């Protein structure tokens, strides 16, 4: 059993945009396992936009990431040593063990998974937190009806791609917003959206209006800023908006809402949510998502950075929209 564990800790809090200097790679010694613990060799590390908010020392739904401690993050891997009665060597598990090669746990918040029909990495994406996020926001907030139009920002991403596919399965019309012709082509041709608007083309509002001739009944928000403004202007009366995130402002840049009066004028339901607070829906959502992936009825794409050393730059790229699909770091 290796005695050295490599980890990334948060070295400093960002002043504006996050940089590689905010992280520090360290080596630590693996302590012998105490009774009731088990050790996991992480295979993949999940990189997600919420991590940027945790880097700030600010009031939020979760405590800030402490300085000089392992960066928070979802992981999937294999139990390599155990003194826990419910976890055996060889078990594949999803956990939140952070940016490190090995993690030690007492089992709290750890979920066993089967990679026979669902690839291990998918448990950090379409059949993991991003997938459940999509499932909850769509089904519990937007509640699409057959024939209605659902718009999804960041439509080629890990959350947005699932939202649109689930909307189509519910009989709705799915319109994505993504950055660049390649991403828009993927959203339509691979994920099956009815249309996709390229926000980088310079005609966001006009293009979105043309793609939603019957207006927008439901909107899944991942971005904020100009994308939110354009979509608000296309919303129908009594439309429903699921606020998942606003990545446009995560690096400290202001993302003011230009036309807040539209919320009142169109009598919109706007609801923010944190999926980790909705644990009651996870079993149902994961069961449906896992079945769809196993049956190849739910498609997804991954951007995979190689090796723990690549995590900071991959994370910074994620915040700038450089990833294509779910951003992962492959550790083994």
Burial grade of 101 (CB within 10 A; 0-12, 13-18, 19 or more): buried
Give the separation between CA 235 and CA 248, rounded to whole angstroms: 20
Burial class (CB in 10 A: 0-12, 13-18, 19+), 193: buried
Instruction: For residue 71, tell me if it sits in a domain.
Output: yes
Q: In the chain, pLDDT over 90 holds for what percent of residues?
A: 90
**Residue 259's pLDDT band (cuts 50, 70, 90):** confident
Contact 137, 242 (CB under 8 A): yes
Are 52 and 84 within one domain? yes
User: 138 and 107, same structural domain?
Assistant: no
Contact 130, 287 (CB under 8 A): no
Out of 67-76, 116-125, 221-230, pick the least confident: 221-230
User: If we measure between CA atoms, which residue out of 278, 253, 311, 213 comes closest to residue 16?
Assistant: 253
C-alpha span between 121 and 128 (Å, rounded): 9
Reduced to 3 states, what is the DSSP secondary structure of residue 105? strand
Residues 102 and 146 in one domain: no
- Are 81 and 207 part of one and the same domain? no
- From the centroid of its chain, how far is CA 279? 16
pLDDT the model gives residue 254: 64
Please give the average per-residue pLDDT across 255-267, as a whole number: 88
Residues 33 and 142 in one domain: no
pLDDT at site 2? 56
Q: List, in sequence order, the alpha helices (H) in the chain.
A: 50-54, 129-136, 160-169, 181-189, 204-211, 225-232, 261-265, 282-294, 311-319
Kindly indicate the confidence band of residue 229, based on its pLDDT and cuts at 50, 70 and 90. very high
- The encoded tokens of residue 126 equal 């379409």
Mean pLDDT in residue range 21-43: 97
Question: Is residue 204 in some structural domain?
Answer: yes
Domain match, 156 and 68 both: no
d(CA 223, CA 226): 9
In a shared domain, residues 253 and 141: yes
The pTM (predicted TM-score) of the whole model is 0.93
Same domain, 203 and 242: yes
Q: Is 72 in the same domain as 175?
A: no
Residue 138 sits in a domain of what CATH number?
3.40.50.720
Residue 258 pLDDT: 85
Inform me whether the pLDDT recorded for 252 exceeds 70: no
Domain that holds residue 225: 129-276
Same domain, 167 and 183: yes
Q: Are 263 and 232 in contact (CB under 8 A)?
A: yes
CA gap 76, 148 in Å, rounded: 37
Q: Report how far residue 331's alpha carbon sits from residue 95's, in angstroms, rounded to the nearest whole number.
A: 15
Give the Cα separation of 19 and 66 in Å (integer). 17
CATH number, residue 86 = 3.90.180.10
Contact 133, 140 (CB under 8 A): no
* pLDDT recorded at residue 75: 98
């Amino acid at each position: 059993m290796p005695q050295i564990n490599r980890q990334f800790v948060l070295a400093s809090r960002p002043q504006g945009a996050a940089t590689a200097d905010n992280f520090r790679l360290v080596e630590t010694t693996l302590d012998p396992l105490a009774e009731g613990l088990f050790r996991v060799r992480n295979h993949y590390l999940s990189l997600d936009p919420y991590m940027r908010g945790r880097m700030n020392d600010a009031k939020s739904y979760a405590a800030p990431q402490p300085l000089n401690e392992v960066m928070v993050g979802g992981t999937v891997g294999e139990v390599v040593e155990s003194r826990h009665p419910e976890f055996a060597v060889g078990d594949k598990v999803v956990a939140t063990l952070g940016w490190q090669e090995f993690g030690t746990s007492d089992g709290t918040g750890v979920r066993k998974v089967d990679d026979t029909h669902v690839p291990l990495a998918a448990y950090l994406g379409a059949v993991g937190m991003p997938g459940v996020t999509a499932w909850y926001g769509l089904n519990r907030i937007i509640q699409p009806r057959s024939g209605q139009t659902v718009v999804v920002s960041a439509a080629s991403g890990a959350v947005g791609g699932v939202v649109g596919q689930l909307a189509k399965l519910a009989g709705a019309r799915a319109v994505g917003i993504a950055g660049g012709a390649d991403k828009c082509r993927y959203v339509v041709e691979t994920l099956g959206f009815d249309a996709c608007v390229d926000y980088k083309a310079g005609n966001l509002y006009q293009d979105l209006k043309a793609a939603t001739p019957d207006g927008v009944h439901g909107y899944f928000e991942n971005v904020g800023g100009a994308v939110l403004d354009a979509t608000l202007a296309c919303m129908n009366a009594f439309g429903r908006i699921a606020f998942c995130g606003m990545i446009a402002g995560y690096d400290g840049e202001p993302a003011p809402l230009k036309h807040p009066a539209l919320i009142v004028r169109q009598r919109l339901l706007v609801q923010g949510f944190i999926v980790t607070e909705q644990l009651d829906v996870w079993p149902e959502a994961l069961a449906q998502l896992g079945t769809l992936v196993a049956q190849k009825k739910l498609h997804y794409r991954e951007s995979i950075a190689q090796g723990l050393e690549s995590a900071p730059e991959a994370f910074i790229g994620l915040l700038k929209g450089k990833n294509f699909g779910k951003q992962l770091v492959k550790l083994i």
